[in-house]
Amino acid sequence: MYIPRQFDEPRLPVLHDAIRRTTLATLVTMTPHGLTATHLPLLLDADRGPNGTLVGHVARANSQWRDSLPDADALAIFLGPEAYISPSWYASKRETGKVVPTWNYIAVHAYGRAEFFDDVERLRVVVTRLTEAHEEASAEPWHVTDAPVRYIDLELKAIVGVEIPIQRLDGKWKLNQNRSEADRTGVIDALESRDHGTDADVARAMRAAEQDRTR
């Protein structure tokens, strides 16, 4: 990932927090036929390994688990909040007119060797953890044990687990750090006013970056 110096985020706790906040990742692996990708939720075990370990599962019918080259790195992409930035929001537009549109976003790339497995009890733990994590906000959470045991056993045979011990993490926080304070303030105010998609989340991230800047 291309990361200009002002957009680089190297702090491990910040990167881990962004991974946890991203509900759907993209897993990219190399196969004999070229690159292939699957969109899937991944859990982070932060204490397993120096950079943490990612855990999830794919459908057994998905050939990615079978075709991925074991000696090539996998890439898990976590795209956080993102927003289109209009040049009309910059104070410098009124001063010079020398502005163009851009996009603000948070992204984390995690690299490591993907290890696939089909042990049923190990898969049961992964599925239970994923369910608990994503049902947490529900008023009446669904539990894996709510379904008949035999049904769950059959479902587990239809998936393959994946673990990725993270060897390297890249974080890009592209939040107008290359613009003036007046321009950044104009963007934050406009995002909060527009409130489209993940505008509010981008605005919050920009305000947090402003606080970091003044520390």
Residue 154 is predicted with a pLDDT of 97
Tell me the fold of 5-214. Answer: Pnp Oxidase; Chain A (2.30.110)
Residue 215 is predicted with a pLDDT of 67
Residues 70, 113 contacting (CB under 8 angstroms): yes
Q: Which long-range contacts (CB under 8 A, 24 or more apart) does 84-93 make?
A: 85/176, 85/187, 86/190, 89/183, 89/186, 89/187, 89/189, 89/190, 90/179, 90/182, 90/183, 90/186, 90/187, 91/180, 91/182, 91/183, 91/185, 91/186, 92/179, 92/180, 92/182, 92/183
Residue 166 is predicted with a pLDDT of 98
Q: Which residues pair with 108 in a beta bridge?
A: 78, 171
Residue 200 is predicted with a pLDDT of 97
Residue 213 is predicted with a pLDDT of 74
List the pLDDT tens digit at each of the 215 positions of the chain. Answer: 999 999 999 999 999 999 999 989 999 999 999 999 999 999 999 999 999 999 999 999 999 999 999 999 999 999 999 999 999 999 998 888 889 999 999 999 999 999 999 999 999 999 999 999 999 999 999 999 999 999 999 999 999 999 999 999 999 999 999 999 999 999 999 999 998 999 999 999 999 999 887 76
Q: Which residues pair with 169 in a beta bridge?
A: 110
Tokens of 170: 């890249």
Residue 100 is predicted with a pLDDT of 95
Vertex 49, ends 48 and 51: CA angle to 5°? 105
Residue 66 is predicted with a pLDDT of 97
